Structure 1
Amino acid sequence: MPSASPTAFVTGGTGFVGSHLVEALLAHGYGEVRCLVRQDLKWLEGLDVVPVRGDLSSIEALYDGLRGVDYVYHVAGLTRARDEATLFRANVQGTLNLLGAVRVANPGVRKVLVTSSLAAVGRCDVPIATEDVPLRPISAYGRSKAAMEQALAAPVQDGTIYLEALPLTIVRPPAVYGPREADIFTFFQTVNRGLCPIVGRGTTPELSLVHARDLARGMIAAAEAEQTTGQTYFIGSERPYAWREIRDATLAALGRRALTLPIPPALVGPIGAVAEWTGRLTGRYPPLNREKAREIRDACKMCSVDKARRDFGYTQQIPLDDGIRETIAWYRRHGWL
């Protein structure tokens, strides 16, 4: 670690990934962790954090959180919304607001780590994405994350290019699972009810996953390594998984059997459309919707961690079986399953 007890400002700390990151920062010996908090502390309740009340549009709150910290971890953002403009407002403009505030309140910051997503890649001409593949996103979420990355390399109104003006590092996680996760949870919930849907035959590796704690450790390592400035990294599993591997690990953790339901890729889109229509009736935008279905069917879902391993020693520490077992145990303890 660069100093005895560095300090950090975290956006999105009350969320799933952000709360695991905050826990990891505290365990890593950070002397003070400030967290941007809109309302309640949620998963941060009971942790030794300094709440900063506001959001990414609250410039004075951003100044208060940023002053004097060593590291900035930007995790806040939306993964789904009913319209694309809302995603762009949160994921692009929110990021630019934060970086503008960094330039004013803490221009000497050691590192700003910005969280993007494998979804920014979209369609890919190679089976396993590396950081240098072109961005061709196919979902609104992916487009918002790609636009965010591109905005960091483009001049803003005063001519500043943030990738040149600030010590930035971008991380792109694939699908993230672990305790507190609420979207992939619907898969575990369905399997717990006795039905296991898998896309296609599910026998070939086609999905990178990362446990939230592995991601948090990787984010800290990426931020603290000097050579990562101006670079982009995938932080995921050491290898991609087949759907049947995920099914088997889930059934073992649940201690039950389930009927496997192979879904032809061509049917994923209609299923997403039906789920979205049902969500309109219930007033909730579902995790599986037309946009997510398009990603499942057509987007690249596998990424290489070779660059992260080479530049800052990233390794996956939580095997899939152990991670799913722990996650399902958490869901049961908290009454989700």
Structure 2
Amino acid sequence: MKKILVTGSSGFIGSFLVEGGLEREFQVWAGVRKRSSRKYLQDSRIQFAELDFTDSTHLAEQLKKHKLQHGGWDYIIHCAGVTKCLDKADFEMGNYWATRLFIETLQRLNMVPERFLYLSSLSVFGPIHEKNYQSITETDVPKPDTAYGLSKLHTEEYLASLKDFPYVIFRPTGVYGPRERDYFLMAKSIRNHVDFMAGFRRQDLTFVFVKDLVQAIYLAIDKQVIRRSYFVTDGDVYSSRTFSDLIRKELGNPWMIRFICPLWLLKVISFVSENIAKLLRKPSTLNCDKYKIMRQRNWRCDITPLEKELGYRPEYSLERGVKEIIAWYKKEGWL
């Protein structure tokens, strides 16, 4: 059995990547922190590797011990990272520097895997083609306008700078599915008869169901691609209200008031929310980085290379995906 490590396994995407590895009969190691939740990592076949990406000495000790007892891994899916921070500098620490420390330690210990699959983001490219709504392609020049997107870009640039390093980069658009909490807030709001939209100008959105993202990543292992980057969506483009309309339908069409917030007002609210969060020392879902993401009008991207090179065929339309997440939220008592 090939051995695979999934870092960030306790998170939303990471837990599905672990399940995907088990389904494909890999020997799966879940990379977690000592205090990480293991709520969705209950399968008895899962083995655990505690990894501390904040301390170089500790991380080296952990990896040395693992190598001595179990050897290395054939594949590593690096999903660990940060998406919400009190200080913007923490994005750089949690995404770029932590990944760099991990790779440098793997190299030093001669533990570089056959493939190192990195979870980046479409946010790497920022707001481009905002006037003509053309699809973002791999030949476009990234122009991230968020601290999160910039930290992911720095990591991509670092990977590309490494000679002969076997990386594959994935840039998913908005990922949704069971266990995810940000899109859940939308469903909760609609259940309470309120929908919220950002700005009046046309906005083209893209999404990918978490199981389709898992499919794409494991296809890269199957096809043995190397030193490539791919956008990941479900292949369709949606208006700004499609997602909420589908949620409303699955909730039985409750009456609803839809507020369209002008971008200038949203910017003010985000600024206030971020500063309150800093005072409370608790990350806020709505902040200045989030405002820039909500302000962006064009989220189209070209997945043709993913389809042609890996044979990727998304199984979930947005309608099917929303149906599944609402059913899961209800089953789990979230709604």
TM-score computed with the length of structure 2 as normaliser: 0.89
d(CA) in 2 for partners of 1:123 and 1:312? 27
Residues 1:140 and 2:138 are matched in the alignment: no
Total equivalences in the alignment: 322
Q: Name the Cα RMSD after superposition.
A: 2.1
TM-score computed with the length of structure 1 as normaliser: 0.89
Classify the secondary structure of the residue corresponding to 2:255: coil
d(CA) in 2 for partners of 1:285 and 1:274? 13
The corresponding residue for 1:36 is 31
Counterpart mapping for 1:84-233 below 5 A: 84-107=88-111, 109-125=113-129, 127-154=134-161, 161=162, 164-201=163-200, 206-226=204-224, 228-233=225-230
Deviation per residue, 1:96-132 (Å, 9 max, x gap): 1221233244556221101110111112135321122
CA drift at 1:299 = 6.6
Deviation per residue, 1:32-90 (Å, 9 max, x gap): 11121212423213352111123223222234557332111000000120112211111
Unaligned runs of 5+ in 2: none
d(CA) in 1 for partners of 2:118 and 2:269? 33
Answer whether contact 1:35 1:65 (CA < 8 A) is retained: no
Percent of pairs with identical residues: 30
Partner AA of 1:145 in structure 2: K
d(CA) in 1 for partners of 2:211 and 2:235? 14
Answer whether contact 1:69 1:106 (CA < 8 A) is retained: no
The corresponding residue for 2:239 is 242
Classify the secondary structure of the residue corresponding to 1:243: coil
Counterpart mapping for 1:275-290 below 5 A: 275-280=273-278, 282-290=280-288
The corresponding residue for 1:59 is 60
Answer whether contact 1:107 1:166 (CA < 8 A) is retained: no
d(CA) in 1 for partners of 2:282 and 2:197? 24
Answer whether contact 1:233 1:308 (CA < 8 A) is retained: yes
Instruction: Pick from 248, 251, 262 the counterpart of residue 248 of structure 2.
Output: 251
d(CA) in 2 for partners of 1:93 and 1:99? 10
Assess, with a 3 A threshold, how the Cα gap between structure 1 residues 138 and 12 changes in structure 2: closer, same or farther. Answer: same
CA drift at 1:332 = 2.2
d(CA) in 1 for partners of 2:243 and 2:323? 11
The corresponding residue for 2:2 is 6
Answer whether contact 1:137 1:299 (CA < 8 A) is retained: no
Instruction: Pick from 12, 22, 27 the counterpart of residue 23 of structure 2.
Output: 27
CA drift at 1:327 = 1.0
The corresponding residue for 2:46 is 49
The corresponding residue for 2:268 is 270
CA drift at 1:168 = 0.7
Answer whether contact 1:138 1:299 (CA < 8 A) is retained: no
Partner AA of 2:313 in structure 1: T
Deviation per residue, 1:12-41 (Å, 9 max, x gap): 0110100011111111121x1112121242
Partner AA of 2:115 in structure 1: K
Deviation per residue, 1:182-206 (Å, 9 max, x gap): 222222221111101123458x561
d(CA) in 2 for partners of 1:114 and 1:220? 12
d(CA) in 1 for partners of 2:291 and 2:178? 24
Assess, with a 3 A threshold, how the Cα gap between structure 1 residues 269 and 328 changes in structure 2: closer, same or farther. Answer: same
d(CA) in 1 for partners of 2:66 and 2:7? 9
Assess, with a 3 A threshold, how the Cα gap between structure 1 residues 176 and 333 changes in structure 2: closer, same or farther. Answer: same
The corresponding residue for 2:321 is 323
Answer whether contact 1:167 1:230 (CA < 8 A) is retained: yes
Unaligned runs of 5+ in 1: 155-160
d(CA) in 1 for partners of 2:7 and 2:81? 9
